[in-house]
């Protein structure tokens, strides 16, 4: 059976696909194996979803290759891709409430956050790339010769793409990857996380309604050790895109190199610094600092998890920040209640990992200012936590926690702040709070990170590229830059002189 009826906490009844999505149909896996997806708020099973084996992924790739060679790729006019992307955006917008409720159920994020943030941003992403689908152009190049010769370039779709998306933003990460791939003319084999597969499967259903041909999108929920490995090493996949941990990213890159040397884009971990200078508006800076780490319960690769505060304002700022953390903690609760601002972490494994990190911080000498406790009762909650008086050699400073925990240290000079910020193997996001314009320019230029937020934190735009320095990844998502990751440049040289 490839569909089950779910009754959501709101009373809404949803016919939820549970099979693999291949050739525009939901089918059981070849092995018949399934995997339970768990509600992180209640710790109860939502339903069981088919999980793909290597054999299933072979079938999905063959379907995507056939579609690329026949009905998509160079055979789908740009106007068709424009229409289908816009149509899919319309359907996501129509079903926003249902999708947001499924996201809250499966992921644990507050319903209002999904409804007011994740879904509209995803709709806009599909519309943004619909606007690009008929504007992918090359160059005409003058040839330094006696005349009668020219060269021009074509940006052609790279082919069949394997896309592996994480559990922290199931719908939004799907949109970030599918939209530019479809706009460029690629077909996709998508692997959602085994922890949060429900909305991806529901969106697959919408692609059929939108009119996407069979094989343009195939979806293969599976365990990362099986599906991710099979996609990364597959000889008939032309490109793999992955969002997740740096450790897994290394494995994917190695598998891609050892197979057919497929193109790889990786959006990996982060340990993003957030600098608070004495010229900043402290109340506003604390608001941004709290939002930068507590958004999505800290389960965010760009979370501002390392906070460095100028010594002259350190104690005052900590007091303001602690108040905001306590206010946020009071909003943690049932994701389906409108007043809820924070839900559970996605799994018991993740909650326990966060708790272990906090314990290690205390053991190494950090001071708990706020939080440091788990929820007693059902649900994998961990309360917003501030660890102050850190040292650079602490585990909580060096490694990604991926939870609502910020570590706070101090600096005296601008030069010291920059040194502390860049003292990491990561380089995804960074932030600075200052009202000194010259300082803002100096510091933002010196930070080794793919994104720098100034007097704000975590704001993204579908038009602005996103990616990392150092071990935070390779390539860029969003903006026109993402299209470069899904196209290959062909150079055509032409002698039209008619002379030998």
To 10 degrees, the CA torsion angle through 22, 23, 27, 28? -40
* Whether the predicted pLDDT of 500 surpasses 90: no
**Helices and strands per DSSP (H, E), number in the chain:** 16, 22
Q: What pLDDT is recorded for position 356?
A: 97
Q: Nearest to residue 120, comparing CAs of 147, 92, 159?
A: 92
* Whether the predicted pLDDT of 144 surpasses 80: no
* Whether the predicted pLDDT of 145 surpasses 80: no
Structure tokens at 298: 């800290």
Predicted TM-score (pTM) of the model is 0.96
Q: What angle do CA 171, 327, 294 make, to 5 degrees?
A: 30
At 27, is the secondary structure helix, strand, or coil? strand
Q: What is the mean pLDDT of residues 65-69?
A: 98
pLDDT level of residue 499 (50, 70, 90 thresholds): confident
pLDDT level of residue 285 (50, 70, 90 thresholds): very high
Domain ranges for the chain? 3-268+473-489, 273-462
pLDDT digits (tens, 9 = 90+) for 365-385: 999 999 998 888 899 999 999
pLDDT digits (tens, 9 = 90+) for 159-175: 999 999 999 999 999 99
Q: What is the mean pLDDT of the chain?
A: 96
| Cα gap 51→167, rounded to integer Å | 16
Structure tokens at 259: 């197979």
Give the DSSP letter string of 208-266: HHHTPPTTSEEE----IIIIIHHHHH-TT--EEEEES-HHHHHHHHHHHHHTT--EEEE
pLDDT more than 70, % of the chain: 100
Q: What pLDDT is recorded for position 377?
A: 85
* Whether the predicted pLDDT of 405 surpasses 80: yes
Phi first, then psi, for residue 333 (nearest 5°) are: 175, -145
CB atoms within 10 A of CB 87: 18
| Cα gap 203→123, rounded to integer Å | 12
We find that the CATH architecture of domain 3-268+473-489 is: 3-Layer(aba) Sandwich (3.40)
* Whether the predicted pLDDT of 218 surpasses 90: yes
Pairing of strands 429-433, 367-370: unpaired
| Cα gap 386→417, rounded to integer Å | 19
Residues 6 or more apart whose Cβ sits within 8 Å of residue 36: 45, 46, 47, 48, 49
Burial class of residue 225 (count of CB atoms within 10 Å of its CB; 0-12, 13-18, 19+)? exposed
Structure tokens at 50: 């088919």
Phi first, then psi, for residue 239 (nearest 5°) are: -155, 145
Q: Specify the higher pLDDT residue, 173 or 499.
A: 173
Residues 164 and 191 sit within 8 Å (Cβ to Cβ)? yes
Looking at 3.30.420.40, 2.60.40.420, 3.30.1330.10, 3.40.309.10, the CATH number of the domain 273-462 comes to 3.40.309.10
Maximum Cα–Cα distance for the chain, whole Å? Answer: 84
Structure tokens at 369: 């200012």
| Cα gap 484→478, rounded to integer Å | 10
Q: What pLDDT is recorded for position 410?
A: 97
Q: What is the mean pLDDT of residues 86-108?
A: 98
* Whether the predicted pLDDT of 235 surpasses 80: yes
Structure tokens at 153: 């370039």
To 10 degrees, the CA torsion angle through 279, 281, 283, 288? -90
| Cα gap 27→6, rounded to integer Å | 19
Q: What pLDDT is recorded for position 334?
A: 94
| Cα gap 162→172, rounded to integer Å | 17
| Cα gap 302→306, rounded to integer Å | 11
Catalytically active residues, by annotation: 267
Residues 123 and 92 sit within 8 Å (Cβ to Cβ)? yes
Q: What pLDDT is recorded for position 1?
A: 55
Please tell me if the domain spanning 3-268+473-489 has the same topology as the one spanning 273-462. Answer: no
Q: What is the mean pLDDT of residues 433-450?
A: 98
Structure tokens at 152: 């021009």
Q: What is the mean pLDDT of residues 235-262?
A: 97
* Whether the predicted pLDDT of 295 surpasses 80: yes
pLDDT digits (tens, 9 = 90+) for 103-136: 999 999 999 999 999 999 999 999 999 999 999 9
Give the DSSP letter string of 323-349: HHHHHHHTTBS-TTSTT--B---S-HH
CB atoms within 10 A of CB 337: 14
Helices 198-210 and 96-107, interaxial angle, to 10°? 160
Q: What is the mean pLDDT of residues 231-248?
A: 97
Residues 486 and 479 sit within 8 Å (Cβ to Cβ)? no
Q: What pLDDT is recorded for position 169?
A: 97
At 26, is the secondary structure helix, strand, or coil? strand
pLDDT level of residue 225 (50, 70, 90 thresholds): confident
């Amino acid at each position: 059976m490839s569909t089950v009826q779910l009754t959501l906490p709101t009373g809404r009844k949803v016919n939820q696909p549970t099979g693999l999505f291949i050739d525009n149909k939901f089918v059981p896996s070849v092995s018949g194996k399934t995997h339970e997806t768990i509600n992180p708020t209640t710790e109860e099973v939502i339903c069981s979803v088919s999980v793909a084996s290597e054999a299933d992924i072979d079938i999905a790739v063959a379907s995507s290759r056939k579609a690329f060679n026949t009905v998509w790729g160079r055979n789908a006019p740009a106007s068709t891709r424009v229409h289908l992307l816009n149509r899919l955006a319309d359907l996501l917008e129509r079903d926003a409430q249902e999708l947001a409720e499924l996201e809250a159920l499966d992921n644990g994020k507050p319903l209002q956050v999904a409804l007011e943030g994740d879904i509209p941003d995803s709709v806009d992403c599909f519309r943004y790339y619909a606007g690009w689908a008929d504007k992918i152009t090359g160059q005409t190049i003058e040839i330094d010769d006696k005349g009668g010769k020219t060269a021009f370039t074509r940006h052609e779709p790279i082919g069949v793409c394997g896309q592996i998306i994480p559990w922290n933003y199931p719908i939004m990460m799907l949109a970030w990857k599918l939209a530019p791939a479809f706009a460029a003319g690629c077909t996709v084999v998508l692997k959602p996380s085994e922890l949060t597969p429900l909305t991806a499967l529901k969106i697959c259903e919408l692609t059929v309604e939108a009119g996407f041909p069979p094989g343009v999108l195939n979806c293969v929920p599976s365990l990362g050790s099986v599906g991710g490995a099979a996609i990364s090493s597959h000889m008939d996949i032309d490109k793999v895109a992955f969002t997740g941990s740096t450790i897994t990213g290394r494995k994917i890159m190695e598998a891609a190199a050892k197979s057919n040397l497929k193109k790889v884009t990786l959006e990996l971990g982060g340990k993003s610094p957030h600098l608070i200078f004495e010229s900043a508006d402290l109340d506003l800076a604390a608001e941004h600092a709290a939002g930068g780490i507590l958004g999505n319960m800290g389960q965010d690769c760009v979370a501002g998890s390392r906070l460095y505060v100028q010594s002259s304002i350190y104690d005052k700022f900590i007091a303001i920040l602690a108040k905001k953390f306590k206010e946020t903690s009071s909003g943690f609760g049932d994701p389906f209640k409108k007043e809820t601002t924070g839900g559970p972490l996605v799994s018991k494994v993740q909650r326990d990992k966060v708790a272990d990190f906090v314990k290690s911080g205390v053991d190494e000498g950090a001071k708990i200012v706020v939080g440091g406790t788990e929820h007693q009762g059902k649900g994998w909650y961990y309360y917003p936590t501030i660890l102050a008086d850190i040292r650079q050699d602490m585990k909580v400073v060096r490694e990604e926690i991926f939870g609502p925990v910020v570590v706070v240290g101090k600096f005296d000079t601008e030069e010291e702040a920059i040194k502390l910020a860049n003292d990491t193997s990561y380089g995804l996001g960074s932030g600075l709070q200052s009202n000194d314009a010259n300082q803002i320019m100096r510091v933002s230029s010196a930070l080794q990170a793919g994104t720098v937020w100034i007097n704000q934190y975590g704001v993204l735009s579908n038009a602005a590229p996103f990616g990392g320095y150092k071990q935070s990844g390779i390539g860029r998502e969003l903006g026109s830059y993402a299209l470069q990751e899904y196209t290959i440049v062909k150079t055509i040289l032409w002698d039209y002189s008619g002379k030998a």
